[in-house]
Structure 1
Amino acid sequence: MKLSMNEATALKCKGTSLEQDLALCEKYGYDMIEIRTMDCLKDYLAKHSIDELAAYFESHPVKPWAFNTLEYFNNLPEADYKETLRKLREMCEWGKKIGCKTVITVPTVGLKKVTRQAIRKSTLACLKEMGEICGEAGMRLSVEFLGHPEASINDFGEAYDIIHELDMENVGLTLDCFHFHGMHSSLADLAQADGKKIFIVHLNDTEDFQFGALRDDDRVWPGDGCIDLDGILQTLRKIGWAQDVLSLELFRPEYYAMPADDVYRIGKAKSEAVIARNF
């Protein structure tokens, strides 16, 4: 099992940058990196070219796992949706350059009194168009449902049903363990899924607050919280999930106050302990 670092995990640590994250991934033996496009990559490209980043990945052991994150895509005003498509095309161009094959996207948050039928209709139409754009570039689109009451898609079963109906080979799901737990998604639903439709798995844990009340800063190191990580990972194995990469993603304020070096070191040890007992 390979381990990826999502840049959010040390995003606000002192001196954070894509360059630092790559160096720490290499120092602590992370195999992959999830690149944050809205800040880390943006800051990198203000001083470097995408060709320089491509050269780095060609000559170093750390490889790009996914672009995180394309916000938002469904039930948007036309101008906002067009901007989402522009960003997607840009990410696809970057991906072709550096060998990153997957774009993670998240559903719109904060919609006011929109029916589930309208959300589903918009989601299917948008993902079809976005999937076609990715397909033309040889890329995958991975949809991350958000375990939050205000997210338009916030449950694994609902998200999977949409992906299943869409039935595009290059469009699948990101299963974030925190979001899976956050709105009490069902292991029974996961057990009925096709593991090949799950492209990305985010590894994390959380404090034991009530369902629907969890927020990103409640995340803790894998194994230090209340999520049934073993249940999720063992179920993924049973349904044929074969991506062979777990990606550590945290947003913990206490961890941001630590040296980034410590975050990478502890994150690796905590993640490997969970991986060792499941794979």
Structure 2
Amino acid sequence: MKIAFNQATTMKYSTLQQDLEVCEKYGYDLIEIRLDKLKAYLENHTVEELKQFFERNRIKPYAFNALEYINHRDEPGYRQIKDDLKFLCEVGKVINCKTIIVVPTFDIGDYTKSQIKEETVKVLHELADIAQAYDTRLALEFVGYPNCSVNTFGQAYDIVEAVNRNDVGVVLDCFHFHAMNSKIEDLQRAEPSKIFVFHIDDCEDLPVGALRDHHRVMPGEGAVNLDLLLRTLKDIGYSEMVSVELFRPEYWEWDIEKTIRVAKESTEKAIKAYF
């Protein structure tokens, strides 16, 4: 299983260039590039320079993270989503990054689950039609907060099944899976080919619905049953990649090199019994 670094782990002070150089030093296979970090990088660099970095080094781009709040948007907001999608597809075409994570919207009001499903399926089709021209796929990431319109693995997987396209899949995030008590049975029945991205993380032991990103901790240091998730992934035949994603402000204050090194060591220790 290849190990990736998600830039949220060093989000406050680091840059794309710094993350790339340090991740290369510590032997990461892949990186998930944040949209905001990419735009900041391109203020002083070119896409061609980014391409050359990946050509010269071991680490490779795996996914862009993320197009946020894709469903139940007003017209200007949805237009911005499409513009950012095209931008990422164009960059991805040059650097060979062919997966884009998309995130559902929060606080949408009193829509039913069936209405949310219908809207999200429609939007995913529309966005996937754009991405298809670039041979790029979309990964829907549910968020384990009560106010997110798609907040469990089962709900997200059901939407992806309804879309029924090879270029639309899901993100499995351990923190989000735990945070809203997603059902392990839903993961056990999942097709591994539909899991496009696997985020590993852990968290403090808070009640269902109370967890937020800042409660994340290094893999193996919290309350998430990582053994169950990793064993289930192995059982269903998933082994493509694992990306460490930690939004914890404490880690943002660490030296960047320490954060990246410890994140990789923790990830390797967590997965070694299974992959």
Q: Match of 1:124?
A: 121
Task: Structure 2 unaligned segments of length 5 or more: list them.
Answer: none
Matched, 1:56 2:56: no
1:196/1:242 contact within 8 Å kept: no
- Displacement of 1:240 in angstroms is 2.3
1:222 aligns with 2:189: no
Matched residue, 2:38: 41
TM-score (norm 2): 0.98
Query: Which of residues 240, 251, 255 in structure 2 aligns to 1:255?
Result: 251
Amino acid corresponding to residue 162 of structure 1 in structure 2: I
Which residue matches 1:23?
A: 21
Q: Map 1:127-146 onto structure 2 (within 5 A).
A: 127-146=124-143
Q: CA deviation at 1:127?
A: 0.4
Which secondary structure does the structure 1 equivalent of 2:146 belong to?
Answer: coil
Candidates 254, 267, 270, aligned match of 1:271 = 267
Aligned letter for 1:23?
E
> Does 2:235 align with 1:238?
yes
Deviation at 1:115, TM superposition (A): 2.0
Q: How many Å separate the matches in 1 of 2:131 and 2:226?
A: 31
Query: CA separation in 1, counterparts of 2:238 and 2:88?
Result: 25
Q: Percent of pairs identical after alignment?
A: 45
Q: Write the distance in 2 (CA, Å) between the matches of 1:272 and 1:242.
A: 14
Give the TM-score of the pair, scaled to structure 1: 0.96
AA paired with 1:180?
F
Offset at 1:79? 2.0
| 3-state SS, counterpart of residue 236 of structure 1 | helix
Name the SS for the 1:138 alignment partner. Answer: coil
Name the SS of the counterpart of 2:169 in structure 1: strand
Q: Please, what is the CA RMSD of the aligned residues? A: 0.9
Offset at 1:52? 1.0
Q: Which runs of 4+ in 1 moved over 2 A?
A: none
Corresponding residue SS for 1:184: coil
User: How many angstroms apart in 1 are the aligned matches of 2:236 and 2:160?
Assistant: 16
Q: Structure 1 unaligned segments of length 5 or more: list them.
A: none
Give the drift of 1:81.
Answer: 1.0
Select 1:99's aligned residue among 96, 107, 114: 96
Count matched residues: 275
